[in-house]
Structures are given as C-alpha cells and as structure tokens.
A and B are shown apart, each in its own frame.
Chain A
Amino acid sequence: MTGKGASVVIVGGGVTGLSSAWWLARAGCDVLVLDKGIVGWEASGRNGGGASHYHSPLYAEEQRLWPLMDDLLGYPTEYRRERVIVAMSPAQLASYHKMAANFNALGYAADHIDSRQALDLAPLVSPQNLGGIHVKFGGHANPQRTVQAYAWAIQDLGGKIIQNCAVTGFQTQGGKVTAVDTAQGTFGCDAVVVAAGPQSSMLLEKLGISLPLAAARAEMIVTEPAPLMAIGGVDGNGLYGRQTLRGNLAYGGGPHEWLDVSATGPAARPTTPLMRNLAKRVAELLPSAAHLRVIRSWAGIVENTPDGRPVIERFNSPSNLTAATMSGVGFGLSPASGHAIADLVLEGQCSFTDLSKLALGRFADLPSDWREQRGWVAISSAGS
C-alpha cells in the first residue's frame, strides 16, 4: 500500500518538525508530518517554555519571531516577553551575571538588578535574594499550546499530519529518499526531514548516517495558581520555569537520568522524589508562594549530542535529506529552527544565519564509547 505522500515528508511531530512543516507550508510546499504518537507529545510539550537562548546562531531569529507567533500561527501560544533570573547564592549570581554579559554582547539588554529590584519585578521572590538579572527580551510560552498551534496552522495551510504513525524505514533511489515506510503504508516524497528526537539516531542509521545521541529524563513540577507577577518568566536558584498566565508556578532543573530509548520511543516518563528537591528550590526562591500546593509533576525525555549543541544539516547523501536535533534546547528556538530547516530543504542553505558549526561532521572522530566517557549511560547498564 502506498499512501499519497507529499513533496516534503517530515518525520517527527515534535516542535522542531512541526515548525519546519509550518515554514515549508507557508512557502507553498506540500507537507506531510508523520508522528509515532500525538503531536508534541514528548519533550516538545513537556518543557519549561523558555525562549531566551543567547548561545544559539538562531537566537536573533528566535527573538524576532516570538512576538509575532500568535498572529502568524493564528492560535495562542501564551508568549510573554522578559525574564527575571534571581540568585539565592553567590555562585548563582556569578553565573547569571555571566549570562547577562553574553546577552549584552549580542546587543540584547540584560541588566543587573539588586535584591530590591528583584522584589519589585517579582513580588513572590525571597527578600533574601542576592539580586540577579533582568532580561528585557526573551521570554516564555506555553509548550503544549504552542505545539498544537503549529499543528493547526500546518493544517490551515493545507499540510497533512498523520498521528500514531511510526516511521519504520526509507526507500532510496539515485542518492535520494523517494519514500518513507510506516505501519500505515508508504508515503512518497521529494524531500524528507528527520526531526524525531531521540529516535532520530535509529532512523538516520537506516540511511547510513551516524548521529550520536543520548537520551535522558528531566522532571518538572507545577503548583496551584499564585497571584500573577508582572513578569511571569521568573527563575533562578538553579531552576528554570515560569508562572503561567493562569498563575501556576511550573519549574524544573536538577539531575537527569540517562536512558536507553528504543526505536519506538520512550517506554514511560516517570517522575521521582526529585520533585521534593524542586519543591525546596521553588519555596526558597518564591517563599511567598511556599504554601501553594504542588498539584502535578511530569517528565520529558530529552536527547543530547556529545557537545550539547544542535545538529542541523542538509546532507549530501541522500541529497534530499535534512535532519535536526536541537540537543535538549528545542522549544524556544523552534520558530527559528523551523525557518532554518525549511531554508535548507528549499534552498540548500539557511537564509538568515550561519549553521556550519552545527554540522554533523564535527563528530567524525567521535569514539564509539563516547557515552561511557561522559558517564551518559543508563544506570542499569552502568551496573550501579
């Protein structure tokens, strides 16, 4: 059985794949997104929603696009600008100041603030805070709402999304991918994008490409609503997170557990008593909210490359293949990553930034035991 296929088939309906499909559809391209489950179901819909990534070559485009996304997509993302990052220890303050220096070096204002200013900007913050930084751009959005907004916007532009449709392989001819195999049939394509999170390694291996990835579980907690602070993007004290527009405090941070993820994706996304350490840090950072009840925890499975930096590349062979992993920092950058990937698919190069340092070739000499070297191995296989 051969499905209808599309000009571009996007493997993976996470936020990177969805944004790529949306940019391609905006360019008039006929797109089909295939996902093993529901769109945005993995890490794309389970993160802190941050959108302030100075380290990325996509940063300027990220900052340009976020304020426009609600209008461009046609659906609300809950995007809000600005962040306040508050230190509770001298070491934290030093690292936040370093972060501000990096923002400022790029021409984006991030001011040092003292303890009093932190309290003025974020009234729930501890009076014992040591100050921090006020990032005057960046911001945060609701990951769950955003992934659905991308999906709906793709459909509104005529793109197709097939959920519960895991990709099992590819058909190639003449150095190109000609079709994508799934349990629901084969879909022909002129070009293919692989943005399948941790499963990208296993998929690309079928095309002779070795993308080194290790997956790990990260956890977050959320409280009942607190009174709204003027700036919801308040974090620090070793945490990332935000106050939602409803008022809930959603925070993550702390240790991750390396996992072995199979080709079918994560087996489960359990949370652990780590939620107690998160609760402690939220209560320290925002003591005026310490009486609020924690109502949920959740976990997401995140993939990382050996250097923690993305791989975004249009390959030479197969020549119509583009692949991307954002290495654990994909949500906030998604408006820009999708733009870059669409450029690679349509033009062969990114129109707005240099991505050469993110090419896969940097791992050509990576030893096969790179995970063991770094201690990035699942606990059972580590024998501990």
Chain B
Amino acid sequence: MPPNFDGIDRAAINGKLPRPERTVQVLIIGAGPAGTAAAISEAKSGAEVLLVDENPVSASLMGLDTPLYFGGRMTTAVQRQERMLEQIFASNPALEEALDLGVEVALATYAWGAFVNGPGLAAMPQPVVGLANEERAWLVGFDKLILATGARDIPLAFPGWDQPGVMGAGGFAALVERYDAFAGRRIVVLGSGELGLKTVSLARAKGLEVVAIVEALPQAQAMVGSDLADIPLLTGQVIHSAYSGLNGVERISVGPVGGPTRELSCDTVVMSIGMAPAVELLNAAGGVLVLDSQRGGHVPLLTSQGATTLPNVFVIGDSAGLGTPQDSQSYQMAWMRALLGVGDEQVIVCQCEEVTRADLLGVQPPNYLQRPEKLAGRDVHTLLADGPINQDQIKRLTRACMGACQARRCREQVALTLACATQSAPIPLAGFRAPVRPLPLKVLADWDEAAAMTAGWDVWFGIPSQWVPYVDIGTEREAAQMVTFSEDPA
C-alpha cells in the first residue's frame, strides 16, 4: 500500500455524526389526543416516555402559517407564552394525567427532523429525532418513536387569499379551541363536508357568527343538522374574491363560477375543503408514503400494527391517515377546478415566492430574472411532453413551494393546479426535507461540535490530488500542490 493511503478517509463522515444528548425508551411527537393517549398507555406499561409538542409555537412562526394556516387571524395573546402554555393544558386535560404517570412533557419544542439509517445512509450512530426550542437544537435518541403529528391545512388560492383573514380549518380550530386567540367575529366557511361542519360547530360554540357555508359542488357534502338550518348554504358556488381593508378581509364575493356574484360581509374565510396528514417528519426520514384518497391523500405505508417502513417508528392519529368518507382527492380537485375558473392568471399561488398561476403553468422563472423570448415557447405542456409532471422539477423552475413557509401554503394546491391543467393523474408528492420546521441558523447550529467533525472538516472531498493545477500534474511541482482545504491538513 502506498505510504499516503492508510485505509482511512479523514474527510469522510464515518464516526463524525454525534450521538444524541440522551436516549429515551419511547419518544412521542405530538401531544394531541392520539399522542397523549399513547404516552399514557406507554407510561402505564412502565416505559420511560418523552412527549414532545411544538405548541405553543412562536408568534413569528404562526405568522409564517407554521404549522397551520393561521392566516394572520390570531390575537396578540399568542405572544404571551405562559398564557399559551396554560391554554394547552386547559384544552387537553389528559396531559395532566400523563404528567402524573411520569411522562416527561416538552412543550414549545419543535421536532425538525428524524434520522435513521436506511437507503443511502449508514452514518447515523443511532436513530434520532432533532428537537429545538427558540434557543437551541439538540438530538434525542429513541428505542421507539411514535409520530402523532396530526394534520395540516390545505389552502387553495383565489383572488385575495393572501390577505389576513383567510385561513385554514386547522388553524381556526387551534386558535379557537386550544388558544382562545381567534381575532375574527364573522366567518364564511368554504366546504360543506365534515371538516366544514366541524368548523361551523366550533364557531357557533364560541359565539361567532357564521355568515354562510359555501360549497363548490351542487350539494352539501355532509349531513347539515337542523341546528344549522339558519346558516345560508350556498351550493354550486365559490368564493370569487376576498376584499381587504387595513385589518384584512372585510367582505367577499360569492357566486357560481360563471357568475353572477354577490357580496357578503365577513372578516374571516375559513377554508375547510381538506386537510393533509402531517407526514413531513416520516417522509424526511425516508419513510414510505402511499396515496390513499380515502385516508386524506399522501399517508404513511403502514402495517396493521401501525408500523411504518422505518424500524421502530410508528404513526398514529390523524398523521396516519384521516378517516374521511369522502374521496378527498376528488373533492379537493373539484374545488380547485372551480377556483381556477374565477380570478385571472395573475392570482398568486405561492405567497412566499409570489408565483402566479400564469407563471406556474408557464414554468416561468421568477421576476428577478429576464424572461428571454424563447421562454414564451415553454410551459407545463411542453414539459409534460418530456415525461410525467414532477412537482419538484416545477419547483426548481418556478420557485413555487420554495419559500420560507416550506410550502405549507401551496404544496397541495400546486399539485392540484398542475393536475387540473394537464389532466393528469395525481401528481407525485413533492418530497419533504429536514428541517421540517424553518429554524434560524443560530438555533439549528451545533455550537458544541464534536472534535472529530471539526478535525476532519474539508470544504469538499479532501482528495489532495484533486486541486493540483493541470500544468503541475506529473511535474516536480505536483507534490507541493497536494493540499486539502481542511482545518487540520495532517
């Protein structure tokens, strides 16, 4: 063996990724009903349990519609974390029981990644979940991981949907039920399925006025009880626009897709057309998903015991799939198709990156780039001629779904819009990648980096011969040019 090869690549990742700060027997992400019940059950069987929940999330993340589509309709009370913590305990009494059973409960703690060895990765010393608060990030190992991360909102674009006061059913429920921090009074509900009616019931129980239920399909999608008979149910109609003043939405126009429209006075529009199982953590860790319209869309591939394709990782509750009597994809597609019939091509689809419907379907670059003449000849149809539509590819070209909200506001509707425009089967899911919560650099950073990481860090592969200038190869100058850019050239 030549002297400079000793069987070890000092710049490789081997042995550099740190072990977690601690390892627990059972780690549960999500302290909603399913996660809390699982924590209680595991604790009763004698396990050491850490139950993590990101709520109350910081007010700044709520402003980014993370994790739910809050639509700027929270009161300033969301800035008071102590009050928010009290609200969480008050709205979920089972948490007290979990605490009494010895469950360690970590609230206001984000789970931003899960990392297990699998295809393309063998460097993890053990399976871990990445956690963080507003100050720092850390890793926790687990023997068993239970994901109970609930469901996310699925917003759909229409003119004015980017104004404060347009929100999702999940965000609405969180503000009303959990935080008592909803800043609206008069709501219009989009969608008449179970989700829509749940929104209506919540609103009524809170003494809010429900101005109307709007349903794009010709008939109500769930049994509307007699107690709701006084609420106008506008079937075969959609929202045409939301009009805003200083405090966001003040009124909307509704009507059949082709008109005529009329105006309704309201301060909030709650989109209750669908929710998606929150599968970000699982998918980012390599867990396999399947499209199951009866379970709410892209859901974990599960065994009958709730096991995922990842060892010792389980998914429960809404994140495992939503029990919906509806064909969720067809229903969402029907709404999307109807909404594409109102408003023009300049309706923004991706709020973060300001991508319009026209830009998305024209696969046009963002406005800060020139659009040379040739680009006019390219669109989603020419791309389709090259092969099946891939949302990740469209994302690269248009920047739709590339923003700071991590596509929470547009992931599903971009796929629906592309499917509508190309008459194609459901578009494959755009992948999720850690961090699945947008964390500041200084919070995510590993400030206590392992010595092995520091010592072996190289800007690229640390191959000494790689950067030898071509003219020096094979000359006496070659040896002197054999360098790496690592901190520790030894």
Q: Which of A's residues lie within 8 Å of B, judged by CB?
A: 38-39, 41, 45, 54-57, 59, 70, 74-76, 78, 89, 91-92, 95, 98, 102, 105-106, 144-145, 148, 151-152, 156, 161, 163-164, 216-218, 223-225, 238-240, 245-246, 253-259, 266-277, 279-280, 282-283, 289-299, 301-302, 304, 307-309, 327-329, 354, 357, 372-376, 378-380, 382, 384
B128 CB to nearest A CB, Å:
7
CB-contact partner of A357 in B5, B375, B470, under 8 A: B470
Does chain A have a CB within 8 A of B9?
A: yes
Interface centre among A78, A302, A379 (most CB of B within 10 A): A379
CA distance A272 to B125 in the complex (A): 11
Does chain A have a CB within 8 A of B434?
A: yes
Interface centre among A57, A258, A279 (most CB of B within 10 A): A279
Q: Across the interface, do B369 and A280 meet the contact criterion of CB distance under 8 Å?
A: no
A238 CB to nearest B CB, Å:
5
Determine the residue in chain A with the shortest Cβ distance to B467. A55
CB-contact partner of B12 in A156, A299, A375, under 8 A: A375
CA distance A258 to B487 in the complex (A): 21
Does chain A have a CB within 8 A of B236?
A: no
Residue numbers in A under 8 Å from B230 (CB-CB): none
Residue numbers in A under 8 Å from B403 (CB-CB): 224, 295
Residue numbers in A under 8 Å from B284 (CB-CB): 271
Determine the residue in chain A with the shortest Cβ distance to B396. A144
CB-contact partner of A304 in B447, B461, B487, under 8 A: B461
Q: Across the interface, do A291 and B440 meet the contact criterion of CB distance under 8 Å?
A: yes
Determine the residue in chain B with the shortest Cβ distance to A380. B122
CA distance A373 to B463 in the complex (A): 13
Q: Across the interface, do B459 and A280 meet the contact criterion of CB distance under 8 Å?
A: no
Q: Which of B's residues lie within 8 Å of A, judged by CB?
A: 1-2, 5-9, 11-18, 113, 115, 118-124, 128, 130, 137, 139, 284-286, 353, 365-366, 368-375, 378, 386-388, 390, 393, 396-397, 399, 403-404, 406, 433-435, 438-442, 444-447, 449, 453, 456-461, 463, 465-470, 473-474, 481, 483, 485-489
Q: Across the interface, do A283 and B368 meet the contact criterion of CB distance under 8 Å?
A: no
CA distance A267 to B117 in the complex (A): 13
CB-contact partner of A293 in B123, B438, B456, B469, under 8 A: B438
B82 CB to nearest A CB, Å:
24
Q: Which DSSP category, helix, strand, loop or mixed, fits chain B's interface?
A: loop
Given contacts A238-B458, A257-B123, A294-B441, contact A273 B13 (CB under 8 A): no
Interface centre among B6, B438, B456, B474 (most CB of A within 10 A): B438
Q: Across the interface, do A255 and B16 meet the contact criterion of CB distance under 8 Å?
A: yes
CA distance A293 to B66 in the complex (A): 13
Q: Across the interface, do A273 and B17 meet the contact criterion of CB distance under 8 Å?
A: yes
Determine the residue in chain A with the shortest Cβ distance to B446. A276
Residue numbers in B under 8 Å from A269 (CB-CB): 120
A164 CB to nearest B CB, Å:
5
Q: Across the interface, do A290 and B441 meet the contact criterion of CB distance under 8 Å?
A: yes
Given contacts A291-B442, A293-B440, A380-B122, contact A258 B9 (CB under 8 A): yes
Residue numbers in A under 8 Å from B399 (CB-CB): 246
Q: Across the interface, do A55 and B468 meet the contact criterion of CB distance under 8 Å?
A: yes
CB-contact partner of A238 in B5, B459, B474, under 8 A: B459
Determine the residue in chain A with the shortest Cβ distance to B363. A148
CA distance A357 to B39 in the complex (A): 63
A133 CB to nearest B CB, Å:
13
Residue numbers in B under 8 Å from A102 (CB-CB): 467, 469, 481
Q: Across the interface, do B378 and A152 meet the contact criterion of CB distance under 8 Å?
A: yes
Given contacts A292-B440, A308-B465, A379-B123, contact A297 B433 (CB under 8 A): yes
Q: Across the interface, do B434 and A291 meet the contact criterion of CB distance under 8 Å?
A: no
Residue numbers in A under 8 Å from B459 (CB-CB): 238-240, 253-254
A311 CB to nearest B CB, Å:
13
CB-contact partner of B122 in A45, A280, A379, under 8 A: A379
CA distance A375 to B460 in the complex (A): 16
Q: Across the interface, do A373 and B446 meet the contact criterion of CB distance under 8 Å?
A: no
Residue numbers in B under 8 Å from A304 (CB-CB): 461, 463
Q: Across the interface, do A375 and B120 meet the contact criterion of CB distance under 8 Å?
A: no
Q: Across the interface, do A307 and B466 meet the contact criterion of CB distance under 8 Å?
A: yes
CA distance A89 to B455 in the complex (A): 13
Q: Across the interface, do A327 and B466 meet the contact criterion of CB distance under 8 Å?
A: yes
Interface centre among B12, B115, B459 (most CB of A within 10 A): B459
CA distance A161 to B387 in the complex (A): 10
Given contacts A307-B465, A382-B14, contact A78 B369 (CB under 8 A): yes
CA distance A156 to B378 in the complex (A): 11
18 A-B pairs (CB sep. < 8 Å): A76-B365, A98-B483, A218-B460, A223-B441, A255-B13, A256-B13, A257-B14, A257-B122, A271-B284, A272-B115, A272-B121, A272-B123, A273-B17, A283-B441, A296-B433, A296-B435, A297-B434, A382-B14
Cβ-closest 4 pairs across A and B = A308-B466, A308-B463, A375-B9, A276-B446
CA distance A255 to B10 in the complex (A): 9
Q: Across the interface, do A277 and B483 meet the contact criterion of CB distance under 8 Å?
A: no
A82 CB to nearest B CB, Å:
18
Residue numbers in B under 8 Å from A375 (CB-CB): 6-9, 12, 14
B65 CB to nearest A CB, Å:
13
Given contacts A45-B396, A56-B470, A382-B14, contact A272 B374 (CB under 8 A): no
Q: Across the interface, do A267 and B120 meet the contact criterion of CB distance under 8 Å?
A: yes
A234 CB to nearest B CB, Å:
14
CB-contact partner of A259 in B120, B461, B470, under 8 A: B120
A347 CB to nearest B CB, Å:
21
Residue numbers in A under 8 Å from B397 (CB-CB): 144-145, 148
Residue numbers in A under 8 Å from B467 (CB-CB): 55, 102, 308
Q: Across the interface, do B120 and A270 meet the contact criterion of CB distance under 8 Å?
A: yes
Given contacts A56-B470, A163-B387, contact A273 B446 (CB under 8 A): yes
Q: Across the interface, do B365 and A328 meet the contact criterion of CB distance under 8 Å?
A: no
CA distance A375 to B10 in the complex (A): 8
Q: Across the interface, do B460 and A253 meet the contact criterion of CB distance under 8 Å?
A: yes
Determine the residue in chain A with the shortest Cβ distance to B487. A91
CB-contact partner of B17 in A266, A272, A296, A354, under 8 A: A272
Determine the residue in chain A with the shortest Cβ distance to B432. A296
Q: Across the interface, do A75 and B372 meet the contact criterion of CB distance under 8 Å?
A: yes
Q: Across the interface, do A245 and B444 meet the contact criterion of CB distance under 8 Å?
A: no
Q: Across the interface, do A295 and B438 meet the contact criterion of CB distance under 8 Å?
A: yes
Determine the residue in chain B with the shortest Cβ distance to A280. B445
Residue numbers in B under 8 Å from A302 (CB-CB): 461
Determine the residue in chain B with the shortest Cβ distance to A235. B459
Residue numbers in A under 8 Å from B461 (CB-CB): 216, 218, 256, 302, 304, 308, 328
